[in-house]
Amino acid sequence: MSIRIYNEGQINYIRKAGEILYKTFEMLKNNILEGVRTKELDRITEEFVRENNGITPCKGYRGYPANICASINEELIHGIPGNKKLNNGDIISIDIVVSYKGYLADAARSFIVGSTNEKNKKLLEVVEKSFFEGIKYAREGLYVGDISKNIQQYVEQNGFSIIKEFAGHGVGRRMHEEPEIPNFFTGNKGARLKAGMVLAIEPMIAIGRPNVRVMSDGWTIVMADRKYAAHYENTIVIKSNGEPEVVTLMQR
Ligand code: MF3
Ligand code: CO
């Protein structure tokens, strides 16, 4: 078992998957509205990705029944889209994987429906910023643990808790590859980072206690104390110059 190193041609396919994913979120942003059902978000995502020559490999992954994960409020991740309608003040985390010619990119965003309270706004701001704190250390010669440690430090300094049961991961040919990338320092610095690695870094944080439960649908992960949680994820590539490139954000 080892961490895959991708060549420039393969990375270009991953970049293309990332571009489709980025555009998908731009499209979805305009559809995160009060009264919209999460299954509708699932349907328009599937259609949009297909029109852009990608596919949504979450569907059927270990029996997962939808194209996207849509997790509302106290739901952390893996919420199954359905008849539930969005309400003003909700926060919704959407997680999507896109495959382009067999190469995958993975990203998640948390959105506000309408307007919400200051605490929720702060939660969303901190989860997103913690990703960028983490990737300051995603460069050749540093370690997975450097990313983890800096995500944790930023989140905890801001008064939120880190969910420890779920982690980021390598991605590329498969949805989950080595290495595992925890959002906290495990006591082990982990693998050394190297050009050609492709990593999905995904902080998951909560307002209350970090304990989670699985709901009766067998998928949805919910906060045990039912306080709100958020998730933010991008796929990055360590380029040949040793620097990270985020492939699921607009490149400039
Ligand atoms: N995209 C998720 C991740 O970040 C995995 C989705 S689980 C699935 O790892 F079952 F929906 F595919
Ligand atoms: Co992921």
Which domain CATH number covers 105?
3.90.230.10
Ligand (nearest to CA of 234): 2
What percentage of the chain exceeds 90 in pLDDT? Answer: 98
Q: How many domains does the chain have?
A: 1
Distance (Å) from CA 221 to ligand 2 centroid: 14
- Cβ atoms within 10 A of the Cβ of 54, count? 25
Ligand (nearest to CA of 62): 1
Residue 80, pLDDT score: 98
Q: How far is CA 148 from the centre of its chain?
A: 15
Q: How far apart are CA 120 and CA 91, in angstroms?
A: 8
Q: Which atom of ligand 1 approaches the CA of 62 most closely?
A: 10
Which residue's CA is the closest to the ligand 1 atom numbered 2? 95
Q: Which atom of ligand 1 approaches the CA of 69 most closely?
A: 11
Helix (H) or strand (E) holding 223: strand 221-223
| Domain, as residue range, for 66 | 8-246
Q: Does some domain include residue 109? A: yes
Q: How far apart are CA 133 and CA 241, in angstroms?
A: 20
Q: Which atom of ligand 1 approaches the CA of 66 most closely?
A: 11
Mean pLDDT (the chain, rounded): 98
Which residue's CA is the closest to the ligand 1 atom numbered 12? 58
1, pLDDT greater than 80: no
For ligand 1, residues with CB inside 6 Å are 58, 61-62, 64, 69, 78, 95, 97, 106, 200, 202, 233
Which residue's CA is the closest to the ligand 1 atom numbered 4? 106
Q: How far apart are CA 194 and CA 196, in angstroms?
A: 6
Q: Does some domain include residue 251? A: no
Q: Does some domain include residue 197? A: yes
For the chain, count helices (H), then strands (E).
4, 14
Are the C-beta atoms of residues 77 and 69 closer than 8 Å to each other? yes
Q: Does some domain include residue 252? A: no
Average pLDDT, integer, range 188-213: 98
Distance (Å) from CA 225 to ligand 2 centroid: 24
Residue 143, pLDDT score: 98
Q: How far apart are CA 219 and CA 175, in angstroms?
A: 17
Give per-residue pLDDT as tens, 140-171: 999 999 999 999 999 999 999 999 999 999 99
Distance (Å) from CA 97 to ligand 2 centroid: 8
- Residue in this structure with the two tokens 């440690």, named with its chain if needed: 149
Are the C-beta atoms of residues 107 and 25 closer than 8 Å to each other? yes
252, pLDDT greater than 70: no
Q: pLDDT grade, residue 251 (50/70/90)?
A: confident
212, pLDDT greater than 90: yes
Residue 60 Rama label (left phi>0; alpha psi -120 to 50; beta): left
Which one, of 98, 92, 194, 104, lies nearest residue 142 by Cα? 194
Give per-residue pLDDT as tens, 28-57: 999 999 999 999 999 999 999 999 999 999
Q: Does some domain include residue 2? A: no
- Residue in this structure with the two tokens 């895959």, named with its chain if needed: 4
Distance (Å) from CA 70 to ligand 2 centroid: 14
Give per-residue pLDDT as tens, 173-188: 999 999 999 999 999 9
Q: What is the pTM of this model?
A: 0.98
Q: Does some domain include residue 219? A: yes
Angle between helices 144-157 and 118-135 (to 10 degrees): 160
